[in-house]
Amino acid sequence: MEWFNALVQGALLGGLYALFAAGLSLIFGVMRLVNIAHGDLIVLAAYLGLSVTLALGVHPLLALVVVVPAMAAAGYVLQRGILNQTLGQDLLPPLLVTFGLSVIIQNALLEVYSADPQKMNAGVLETASVSVGGLSLGVLPVLTFAVAVLVIAALQWTFYRTALGRAFRAVSDNQDIAQLMGLNRHHIFGLSMALALAVTAIAGILLGIRTSFDPSIGGGRLIFGFEAVIIGGLGNLWGTLAGGVILGVAQTIGAKIHPGWQLLSGHLVFLIILAVRPNGLFPRISG
């Protein structure tokens, strides 16, 4: 039962990782961009949430109303202002520019909020739990997982059922021909980054309610998201959720065996899957 509990807790944790990963997966799918600053943007969203809750005295979940549009707007501006200039045949510019961005965001957060760990106060939500079949499940992890499922379903719907999603897929297939259809790829890329950072905002707020955070943890969040994407298979959003769950389960089971093995066992499972199934479990597009 104890192990089964770890399994369930791990799966729920996987929801958070899927949220870290969804934005990463989206922008890679649309423009083949890998954003090294993705983790730092998650942390930035958490800090924005903190500031909003403190300034307005509202519940962290209510802060989403401000943080989601703010991050989306920042994403659009970032893409059109900087990142669009880096896209092309050469891999180096996007990688190095987003790497530079990562360092800038991290140190800007240090400057503004200091290195002290922070946490958002979500009141009873943090401790409330429900009992299901002998298991005690935290309401917050269950809520996080439900949000992850909803977000991925919404992204999936956007991608395959809306004009915006059609434009995303067309630009991803062939940028030149998409231009001929009257689509300005720079605008479409901006919209995809806006959408990705809107998801990032949700991920950051849920992270900030769940655990304490400081400016240095972005890299780790990027890695978890990246591992979930690769385990699930590139370009497959539901696969990304599965990847997040696998990673979460590996971590909680590892922590159960030995407290120091939590992160290590997650990484090892990722490396094993990379060795056995280099394209992930459910690949859609080739990298």
Partner 1 sequence: MPDMVLEIYGLDAHYGDFQALYGIDMNVARGEVLAIIGANGAGKTTLLRSIAGLMKNRDDQIRYNGTAIGAMRADQVARLGIALVPEGRQLFPSLSVEENLVIGGQIGRKGPWSLSEIYALFPILKERRHQQSTSLSGGQQQMVAIGRALMANPDLILFDEISLGLAPVIIKSIYEALPNIVGEGMTALIVEQDIARALSVSSRAYCLQEGRVSLEGASGGLSRAEISRAYFGVT
Partner 2 sequence: MSHQDFSVTRTSRAARIATVLGAIVLVLLVLAPWWAGRADMRLLGELFLYLALASLWNLLAGYAGLVSVGQQAFVGFGGYMLFALTIFAGLPPVVAVLGAGVLGAMVAVPVALLIFRLRGAYFAIGTWVMAEVFRLSFAQISALGGGSGSSLPTNIVRSMAASRDGREALSYWLALGAAVLVIGVVYLFLRSNKGLALSAIRDNELAAGSLGIDIWRTKFLVYVITAALTAVIGALIFLQKLRISPDAAFSVNDWTAFVIFIVVIGGIGTVEGPIIGTLIFFALRETLADLGTIYLIVLGIVAIVIMLKAPKGVWGLIRARFDLQLFPLGFRVERSNRDKET
Give the residues lining the site for partner 2 (CB under 8 A).
Answer: 32-34, 36, 82, 85-86, 91-97, 99-101, 103-104, 107-108, 110-111, 219-220, 222-223, 226-227, 230, 260-261, 263-264, 267-268, 270-271, 274-275, 278, 287
Minimum separation from the CB atom of position 18 to partner 1 (A): 22
Residue 48 or 231: which CB sits closer to partner 2? 231
Closest distance of CB 142 from partner 1, Å = 34
Local structure of 257: helix, strand or coil:
helix
Residue 94 interacting partner from partner 2, partner 1, none (CB closer than 5 to 8 Å by kind)? partner 2
Query: Distance (Å, rounded) from C-alpha 42 to C-alpha 137?
Result: 25
Phi/psi of residue 174, nearest 5 degrees: -160, 105
**Ramachandran area for residue 32 (φ above 0: left; ψ -120 to 50: alpha; else beta):** left
Instruction: Catalogue the E-assigned strands of the chain.
Output: 129-132, 135-138
CB of 111 to partner 2, least distance (A): 5
Shortest distance in whole angstroms from residue 186 CB to partner 1: 9
259 binds partner 1 (CB under 8 A): no
Radius of gyration of the chain (CA): 19
88 exposure class (CB count in 10 Å sphere: 0-12, 13-18, 19+): exposed
End-to-end CA distance of the chain: 40
DSSP character for 130? E
Show contacts with partner 1 in window 167-196 (CB under 8 A). Answer: 167, 169-170, 172-174, 176-185
Which residues here bind partner 1, judged by CB under 8 A?
163, 166-167, 169-170, 172-174, 176-185
